[in-house]
Chain A
Amino acid sequence: MSDLNSTLHLHGVHHTAFPTWKPKSTVEFYRDGLGLKLLHAITARGWGRKDGHPDFLHFFFDAGNGAAIAFFYYVGTEPRPDLIKIKGYLGVARHTAWAAHSEAELIAWQKRLEATGCKVTPVVTHETLESIYFIDPNGYNLEISRSLRPLTAQDNRDAELTIEAMIATFGDDNPDKRSIDDMWRAKGQLVARHAFAAAAE
């Protein structure tokens, strides 16, 4: 048992799940549009509980690489657009991104989605990836990305320093109302110590 505990690690995402009030359009979009195989569907009278949990369907699509994306449809409940159609950057923050392997694939997805009437952004190039963005019939933000280069130990180390600076600066809830400039100054000190300490002494 202790051997298992010492080697215990997670094996990728099994599934993520979202509520939907558009089950028909959701199936048409994910199964027919994105071509994700329907894997499994659960239908149930609540959870068998007596606290008013609605009857529901829970259905899973193959998202690739062993992962699934799943939806809950709660029968007879009122739609909650406040949970889905979040306006502005907060709506963009919560999203699902799939992987494409080449620029040609990315462009092909863009064309395929547009052909189904889905609005798709132009290709946006970020630091190490480029992406297209679109929205599913529920209002969930989706993305298809391809990596422009593999992430290296250097990227990992830099991320550790950034996160150290982030936690030191903001903690939780940013009680001291610090700015990102404050965090960048903290990061600069960490980078100075990490990479240039000998020169500074």
Chain B
Amino acid sequence: MPTLYLLDVPEFRPAAAALERAPGCRLSRAKGYVRVESDRDIVVERKATNMNEAVWFGLTTAGFDGEIAEFTSDRLRIGPSAG
């Protein structure tokens, strides 16, 4: 099950808001972090977040569990662990 952690700060909140609306994503918050869990791939579209690239490419800074299948200026996709 892929899991993405987001730092719960103003810069990354647009991504958390977009994932809040994403089907299948379950968000929980604790101690300044947002944990995003999903039974399918976790996908964030940059367009939906309005984040500029300098911030966007730091989106995974709080870590994840799984494999980054795609991380372009358009989209972040995290799938399940390969192993």
User: Which A residues are closer than 8 A to B by beta carbons?
Assistant: 124-128, 149, 154-155, 157-158, 162, 165, 181, 184-192, 194-196, 199
Contact = CB atoms under 8 A, between A and B. Distances in A.
Q: Is the interface of A mostly helix, strand, loop or mixed?
A: helix
In the complex, which of the residues A126, A162, A184, A199 has the most CB atoms of chain B within 10 Å of its own CB atom? A184
Interface string B14-31: 000000000000001011
A199 B68 CA distance: 24
B63 A125 contact: no
Nearest to B7: A158
Contact of B55 (A127, A149, A165, A188): A127
A192 B5 contact: yes
A93 to B, nearest CB: 15
Interface of B: 3, 5, 7-11, 28, 30-33, 35, 52, 54-55, 58, 60-65, 67-68
Contacts of B9: 127, 154-155
A190 B7 CA distance: 13
Contacts of B8: 154
A4 B50 CA distance: 51
A196 B68 CA distance: 22
Contacts of A186: 63
A181 B68 contact: yes
B30 to A, nearest CB: 4
A125 B51 CA distance: 10
A196 B35 contact: yes
Contact of A185 (B10, B32, B65): B65
Contacts of A196: 28, 30, 33, 35
A125 B62 contact: no
A148 to B, nearest CB: 8
A195 B63 contact: no
A194 B64 contact: no
A97 to B, nearest CB: 15
A127 B5 contact: no
A129 to B, nearest CB: 10
B54 A126 contact: yes
A200 B67 CA distance: 20
Contacts of A158: 7, 32, 61-62
Contacts of A127: 9, 11, 54-55, 58
